[in-house]
Structure 1
Amino acid sequence: MANYPLVLSVTSGKGGVGKTNLSVNLACRLAALGRRVVLMDADLGLANVDVLLGLAPERTLFHLFHEGVSVEDILLPTEYGFSILPAASGVEGMLSLSTGQKLELLESMDSLENEVDFLIVDTGAGLSDNVLYFNLAVQERLLVVTPEPTSLTDAYAVIKVLKNSHGIDRFRVVINMAPDVKTAKNVFTTLYKACDHFLDGVSLDMVGHVPPDEAVRRAVIAQVPFCIRSPESPAARAVAGIADAVNCWQPATRLDGNIKFFWKKILFQEQSVA
């Protein structure tokens, strides 16, 4: 059986929960495990992935949509073993993709399907059209939540909209900035109970938690991933555990009714075995 890329989003209901930092360091750790990783900055108008890595890309996804360049022209290797697809920052026209641009993006990703083991899609926060689109286009959704009540409320809102309006019923959860396992489990349990009570058939899986860590702040200032700058720090060890779990996930081999990156290859297989 052919191997397919596993495509996952890292998403959140609330900004400021550490979503992009988790995406960058998860990409680092998966690359260190020998996987071929591309990290797409899907916060299209407020890009931060390149900033966290101290990079200044010459081309971004803006150039894909407006100047006709290819994904290969945009793809930017990093010194940490993975590549990024950078987005633009402060470009209003990127805040909401047209239907044509969405199809163009799906089409353009076909060229990477044999070159990638993991495509990590770092979405924006909230419930904008772009955020919903990217969460529909992936196979797995990694929802980042913190112990703050507002983060929990907004995370539940994301789950509710994706479930009730789009039929998405499975979510992976990372609790960020939780000081200990007990706190992380309490946060997850609160979210789980809300979904169990108000939403029918939602599956939540806690993948891990990342504790508050001064090494994270220092790494952001240095523009170096904390798992590289401080590999023995509590946060780095936590992300290593999350990466080990993600590395065991299996990519979908059949369509499940939602849009998918690399959909042509998956669809071809489904037709061939029908």
Structure 2
Amino acid sequence: MRSPDSIPSTPHHPAPRVIAVASGKGGVGKTSVSINLAAALVNAGQRTLLLDTDLGLANVDVMLGLSPRFTLADVFAGRCELRDTVLEGPNGLMIVPAASGKRHMTELTPQQHVGLVHAFSELDLPIDTMVVDNAAGLADGVLTFCQAAQEVVVVVCDEPASVTDAYALIKVLSRERGVARVQVLANQVQHPVEGKQLFDKLERVTSRFLDVTLNYLGAIPRDEWLRRAVQRQESVVDAFPSSPSALAFRDIGRRSRQWQSPAAPRGHVEFFIERLIGTPANSPTRSAAA
């Protein structure tokens, strides 16, 4: 594993596309989706950063068998800069890990969440796409990180609570944070038809009560190869590239690459805002995240 200092950096890169992965309910495979989407993008030639923002129960590094020297907890404590947390994972995937078991990280203020978003203006790495793995639920950090992304992917599975909680998340994102478009990904489905039925169920209620557009991103099948990949601490895209779930993730990655990169700021909190404006950031990372 190379150190962050060996990762090449060139000044003033254009702003990457930022994709936030979220779910109303825990246990729907959101982190697995984040990891495999990021892996699929890397394998397609996209320079990709995977950011773990599950600030209290982070597990991206564990699921990929990595041992970070620094995490976001060290950034907030002033022990390192954001750039120092960057790990290089499989096939050059860049990863910013959060901390697990750090209760104070779950108690950050809204201003600190915004500060973390702004700190990415100084992370001057050549990135095409950043995938943000959020905590489950409606916490302020989840809402801020979703608002700061260009695309929000909400993961659902075939459980009544998953659909209900996904609707609750979409409602809050729409009404409180101005998110106007959400991508819906059905996970752990037995048959592709099941995924479309889940989307239709969610879309019917949102179209009645919310001013938000839902797009069906696709479905990931439940298969044994995905479980084996988790046990091996690898993405299924890398471990078993011909498996049904790996093929589905590659298709999701292909669709996401067709989304437009940001051309200009949208007027609210946003990742890589200084790159969108076209001027370098002025404030130090450490103070931005403090």
What TM-score, normalized to structure 2?
A: 0.88
Q: How does 1:72-111 map to 2 (within 5 A)?
A: 72-111=83-122
Query: CA 1:107 to 1:187, structure 2 compared with 1: closer, same or farther past 3 Å?
Result: closer
For residue 90 of structure 2, give the secondary structure of its aligned residue in structure 1: coil
Q: Judge which range, 244-253 or 97-106, deviates more.
A: 97-106
Q: How does 1:38-187 map to 2 (within 5 A)?
A: 38-187=49-198
Q: d(CA) in 1 for partners of 2:17 and 2:25?
A: 25
For the aligned residue pairs, the C-alpha RMSD in angstroms reads 1.5
Q: d(CA) in 2 for partners of 1:6 and 1:63?
A: 26
Question: Which residue matches 1:245?
Answer: 255
Question: Which residue matches 1:254?
Answer: 264
Question: Which residue matches 1:272?
Answer: none
For residue 206 of structure 2, give the secondary structure of its aligned residue in structure 1: helix
Question: Which residue matches 2:217?
Answer: 207
Q: Judge which range, 104-113 or 163-172, deviates more.
A: 104-113
Q: Is the contact made by 1:4 and 1:113 (CA closer than 8 Å) also made in structure 2?
A: no
Q: Judge which range, 20-29 or 255-264, deviates more.
A: 255-264
Q: d(CA) in 2 for partners of 1:210 and 1:227?
A: 12
Match of 2:43 among 32, 35, 53: 32
Q: d(CA) in 2 for partners of 1:175 and 1:248?
A: 19
Q: Deviations over 1:80-128 (max 9, x none)?
A: 3211100000001100322443343233212335511111110000001
Q: Deviations over 1:10-65 (max 9, x none)?
A: 10000011110011111111011111111000001100100110111111000111
Q: Report the AA paired with residue 75 of structure 2.
A: L
Q: Judge which range, 253-262 or 237-246, deviates more.
A: 253-262
Identical positions, percent: 41
For residue 95 of structure 1, give the secondary structure of its aligned residue in structure 2: helix
Q: Deviations over 1:130-151 (max 9, x none)?
A: 1111111111101111111110
Question: Which residue matches 1:236?
Answer: 246
Q: Is the contact made by 1:70 and 1:108 (CA closer than 8 Å) also made in structure 2?
A: no
Q: Is the contact made by 1:141 and 1:172 (CA closer than 8 Å) also made in structure 2?
A: yes
How far has the Cα of 1:195 moved from its partner? 0.2
Q: d(CA) in 2 for partners of 1:55 and 1:242?
A: 25
Question: Which residue matches 1:6?
Answer: 17
Q: Judge which range, 187-196 or 132-141, deviates more.
A: 132-141
Q: Is the contact made by 1:163 and 1:169 (CA closer than 8 Å) also made in structure 2?
A: yes
Instruction: Report the count of equivalent residues.
Output: 267
Q: Report the AA paired with residue 251 of structure 1.
A: S
Structure 2's unaligned 5+ residue stretches are 1-12, 280-290
What TM-score, normalized to structure 1?
A: 0.93
Question: Which residue matches 2:286?
Answer: none
Q: d(CA) in 2 for partners of 1:39 and 1:53?
A: 12
Q: d(CA) in 2 for partners of 1:258 and 1:58?
A: 33
Q: Judge which range, 247-256 or 128-137, deviates more.
A: 247-256
